[in-house]
Amino acid sequence: MTTSGSSRPRPPLTEAAKEQVKLRANWLNGLSVATFAVGTLASTSRALFEPRLQTSDVLTSSSVALICLFIAWRIHLLAYNALKSLDP
């Protein structure tokens, strides 16, 4: 009798499958960097260097920056976890 929680060992990945995991992780990490650059750096630099911004604009830019920073971090963790799957 097997339980639903039992897990069978996975067969080893082929070299092609390993390369696909690496490419996927690289793509996700690139998406993370782009999200960080556009969402966090652009919003922060706009809030810091545009002299005529209202307080509400600064708060909006700061909120967007924090949300994009969180999203970039989560995407990076997805890439990291994909690469951890390559460990035996």
Cβ count within 10 A of residue 26: 13
The rounded distance, in Å, linking the Cα atoms of 47 and 72 is 20
**Higher-scoring residue by pLDDT: 59, 68:** 68
Contact in structure between 2 and 55 (CB atoms under 8 Å): no
Q: Rounded to 5 degrees, what are φ and ψ at 83? A: -70, -30
Q: How confident is the model at residue 3 (pLDDT cuts 50, 70, 90)?
A: low
At 33-54, the pLDDT tens digits run 999 999 999 888 887 888 787 8
**Higher-scoring residue by pLDDT: 87, 73:** 73
Asked if pLDDT for residue 22 goes beyond 60, the answer is yes
